[in-house]
Amino acid sequence: MTEEARILLEDIFPFGRVLVTREGQVYDVNKQARAIFQFSENDLTGVSLEEYIAPKYWQSFRRFLDKVFTSKRQELLDIKLTHINPDYPTDVCVFGHLVPFGDLCQLTVMDISASHRVPRVIDENIGQFRFNLLEKTTWRSKKHAQILGIQDPTQEWSLEVALQYVVPEDVNKVMESFKRGVEQGIDESIEFRIKRTDGVIRWIWLTTSVTRSSEGMPVIVDGIIQDITEMRRNQIDLLSAEERYFNLISMLEIGVVILGPDERVLVCNPSALRLFGLTMEQMIGGTAMNPAWNVIHPDGSPYPGDTHPVSITFKTGKPVLNAIMGVFRPVTQDRIWISVNSEPRFNYDGSIKDVTATFKDVTEIVRANGVTR
């Protein structure tokens, strides 16, 4: 695999990354995603990601994936994960975008639920507040006021006042979360934007918990907030870097194809399509074993499918470099000569995950050496 291709799931990034199919089946994950989802060390290929998502979010996740694949735009979703111990769900923020040269969606995942597992209230960046629903009284910490840009924490405070700082587009989302927490007595976590008193827009993370009376009536709402603007900026920067990477791959003059264990094409770039004279629909899922390609060696002898570079790499686990192949293109009814490199990528158990093949058109060079077939 080229160095650029390794970036796709590079473990140096601070976020989890998961590649999924249109049906939500896992294709690959990086180290951070394994930690967030608590994936086992076993091969996850074909496992439905829904197995790790709290059931009430399944429908939202399906709509989210469908929207990514159909609109081909970046989408955002907040969901809860269910780990082996169902008492400890994890809140995650998921960015999804379509890999532009294959039928896969990349999910960039960040765990935003640290407050459920560690006492974040001692963090100096955390603001605290309390609503007493029976006495109609409120309290908030100095840091809570500072996050909103208010210098005097004794300034009048209420739910109505708090909503005045929420940007209009997010007010309904905040109200629905608050109402759901109070009515159902459940902890709620949400991210939204505020407009501070100085006019600056900031991203806020909020979590609330409800205390009920012995009769089951909600009496107190406790909450903490944190300014997560920088985290959001990091996510946006990461997505921008990924977009630049995808643009780079798309503009490469060499063809790039990733093939699964069945030697069928999973991902390809536009240069590969142009080289073989195929559309994306024709390429994805295809195999080099098709006899219509009539692949030959420079001496004109047949090039059996089980001796192709990709097949050799799958069999041996070793790369193949600079293999010269003559390929007949059925669509254009001509033959081209290509130089092929193939390199494996491995699962955690040592089995081959997939093989990346690169193709370079060397037709003129081969013909200059006297090959006219």
Which ranges in the chain are annotated with CATH 3.30.450.20?
Answer: 3-112, 120-227, 253-368
Give the chain's mean pLDDT.
81
The stretch 270-291 carries a mean pLDDT of 84
pLDDT, tens digit, 9 for 90 and up, residues 229-279: 887 777 676 666 666 666 667 778 899 888 888 888 888 888 999 999 888
The stretch 118-146 carries a mean pLDDT of 74
Q: CA–CA separation, 74 vs 227, rounded Å?
A: 23
- Residue 148 amino acid letter: L
Taking a C-beta distance cutoff of 8 angstroms, is the pair 59, 35 a contact?
A: no
Options 3.30.450.20, 3.30.70.141, 3.60.70.12, 1.10.10.10; CATH for 253-368 is: 3.30.450.20
The pLDDT of residue 1 is 38
Taking a C-beta distance cutoff of 8 angstroms, is the pair 21, 27 a contact?
A: yes
Tell me if the domain spanning 120-227 has CATH number 3.30.450.20. yes
pLDDT, tens digit, 9 for 90 and up, residues 46-103: 789 998 888 888 888 998 899 888 887 777 777 888 765 555 557 777 878 777 666 7
Q: Furthest-apart CA pair in the chain: how many Å?
A: 94
Per the document, the length of the chain is 373
The domain covering 3-112 belongs, at the CATH homologous superfamily level, to PAS domain (3.30.450.20)
Q: CA–CA separation, 67 vs 244, rounded Å?
A: 22
Note the Cα 92 to chain centre separation in Å.
12
pTM: 0.48
CB count within 10 Å of CB 180 equals 14
Banded pLDDT at 114 (limits 50, 70, 90): very low
For residue 95, what are its two tokens? 């960015």
Taking a C-beta distance cutoff of 8 angstroms, is the pair 79, 57 a contact?
A: yes
- Residue 146 amino acid letter: Q
Which residue would you say has higher pLDDT here, 141 or 364?
364
Q: CA–CA separation, 89 vs 339, rounded Å?
A: 50
pLDDT, tens digit, 9 for 90 and up, residues 176-202: 988 888 888 777 888 899 999 899 999
Q: CA–CA separation, 305 vs 234, rounded Å?
A: 46
